[in-house]
Amino acid sequence: MYPLKLVYIPLDDRPVNTKDVEILADIAEVNLKIAPKEYLGKFMTKADRDNIYNWLSNEEGDVLVISLDMLLYGGLVASRNIDTSYEEAVQFMGKLKDYKEKTNIKIYAFSNIMRLSISVFGEESEKWWQQINKYNELRYRIDCLGQNQYKMELEKLIESLPEEVLQTYLSARERNHNINKMAIDFVKQDIIDFLILSQEDCSPYGLHLSEHEVLHKIINDKRLNSKINIFPGADEIGQVLLSKVVNDFNNIYPRVYIQYDDVSSKNVIPKFEDRPLDVNIQEHLKAIGAEITRNIRECDFILAVTTPNTPYIDMCGSDMKDYNKKSVIKSFVKTLKKYIEEGKIISIADIACANGGDPYLLEELKENGLLLDIAGYSAWNTAGNTIGTSIAIGSILNTVIKTKSTLKESKKKSLEFLIKRYADDYIYQSIVRNKTIKIIKEQGLNIFNMGKKYESIDEYVWEEMYQLLKDYFENHKFSYMGFSGFVEEIKLSANLPWYRVFEVDCDVTLKIN
């Protein structure tokens, strides 16, 4: 079979939307053509949409995976403001239709349902972020649940909010909702072949739930349930759609066994989401065409899930004093060790804490010599983000195993991706980030937007990450899906791509023996 040619327009230029998708495509031997980085914008600077479309117009492939937020608004952050009018967004939707008519390419699209609040650029916007979140909850309680006792609280909140902040938020939300309805109609017209409407940061209360109701009704009325999915997530969707495209192209769909650390906690609603964990996992698996099996003997890979600690712990700023899962994690790792000894492929979705990996899980994996024996690991940002990455690597490895002859090279690349995830999701997000926050504050800088690149801060991040990475992995043995040896040397690059502390851009290269 000839190599799959995939054209890709990401959500923005952050590594999770660009580099990580490129790495996964490389593991799967997909010929990925991604929109040039210089057109994608950065953080508060929106993308050059005209040049992105001009680039797209000259590209050919089997499939287009496209973020509508990028093409229409100029990226994720730009989708939360009103620089782009509804009419202008519609014009760009028309360009996508023209491209489809010209090429007849299959289009797998994704579009965000706006999160509960605004973007944060500093201390003042952080204050408005908190208040808009509260506004959402109160509006939902009053408008949808009839809890009128909250009316006075809502009125006081509205008085305290700058009118421009609230109106910008509401106008952007209305525009995006109308565009999402148009995207559904594009599926009906066979312009878009598959669509994910991903719900960015949310909660069980908020205006997004009313929008979901409207969108689900349209989908049901048009009988499009097999072509459109709605679930919590955002930044992982490029990886999810890549794995779906790979599955569709090869007509290979994984059978997945879900192993929870504590099955009684599978229906906990994670922080930043609006539905039980188990439901979101099922929805992500459905999106890639996977089959959930209860028979572990017939599964292609095990999705091993740590459930949320209660109360939830946020690794970006919180400590571990409320952590209460030590005995559960110890038993969980023993179970995983048994599965590995039986030759099972395991991808871990570490959701015990928000915004980073669980230190106790990593220590247990290290103590049992399993860090480099599992196939995939993910623990970044929200539960949906983590689920998407862990499912994507598990699914892609399943397809690679069943279709490829040059398996050793793919295994080395996926081993490097595994260590990259440890470096990012655990070493940076759970350890180094909080130290970096302290350093930046001591220099009087804004942790949400330093405004420019600071070499000394990037150097500090690299040094801290590199030492920990060496301690964990250098000169350590591995037995990665039957590919055995030891890590002789690790090379790491690391910097803060958006000049803020929230994410790191890191690359890992291994010399193995």
User: One digit per residue, pLDDT tens: the chain, 513 residues?
Assistant: 568 999 999 999 999 999 999 999 999 999 999 999 999 999 999 999 999 999 999 999 999 999 999 999 999 999 999 999 999 999 999 999 999 999 999 999 999 999 999 888 888 888 999 999 999 999 999 999 999 999 999 999 999 999 999 999 999 999 999 999 999 999 999 999 999 999 999 999 999 999 999 999 999 999 999 999 999 999 999 999 999 999 999 999 999 999 999 999 999 999 999 999 999 999 999 999 999 999 999 999 999 999 999 999 999 988 899 999 999 999 999 999 999 999 999 999 999 999 999 999 999 999 999 999 999 999 999 999 999 999 999 999 999 999 875 577 888 999 999 999 999 999 999 999 999 999 999 999 999 999 899 999 999 999 999 999 999 999 888 888 888 899 999 999 999 999 999 999 999 999 988
Count of C-beta atoms within a 10 Å radius of residue 472: 20
* 59 CA to centre of own chain: 26
Burial of residue 49 (CB within 10 Å: 0-12, 13-18, 19+) is: buried
| Phi, psi of 492, deg, nearest 5 | -135, 135
- The one-letter amino acid at 248: D
What are the sequence ranges of the domains in the chain? 5-250, 255-441
* 347 CA to centre of own chain: 15
**CA angle 168–169–172, rounded 5-degree value:** 80
Residue 405's pLDDT is 54
Spell out where 172-213 has E strands.
Answer: 194-199
Interatomic CA distance for residues 184 and 109, integer angstroms? 10
Residues 6+ apart with CB under 8 A from 124: none
Residue 408's pLDDT is 76
| Phi, psi of 65, deg, nearest 5 | -105, 120
Residues 6+ apart with CB under 8 A from 321: none
Residue 436's pLDDT is 97
Helix, strand or coil, per DSSP, at residue 165: helix
Interatomic CA distance for residues 300 and 92, integer angstroms? 41
Residue 10's pLDDT is 99
Identify which of 79, 44, 49, 111 has the alpha carbon closest to the alpha carbon of residue 175. 79
| Contact yes or no for 398/254 (Cβ under 8 A) | yes
| Contact yes or no for 115/78 (Cβ under 8 A) | no
Give the CA distances from residue 100 to residues 57, 64, 95, 103, 195, in Å, rounded to whole numbers and listed in that order. 10, 10, 9, 5, 15
Q: Which CATH number fits domain 5-250: 3.40.50, 3.30.43, 3.30.420, 3.40.1130?
A: 3.40.50
Q: What is the pTM of this model?
A: 0.96
Residue with tokens 């109701």: 213
Query: How many helices (H) and strands (E) are present in the chain, helices listed first?
Result: 16, 14
Identify which of 327, 385, 331 has the alpha carbon closest to the alpha carbon of residue 354. 385
| Phi, psi of 484, deg, nearest 5 | -110, 155
- The one-letter amino acid at 91: Q
| Contact yes or no for 31/6 (Cβ under 8 A) | yes
Count of C-beta atoms within a 10 Å radius of residue 370: 17
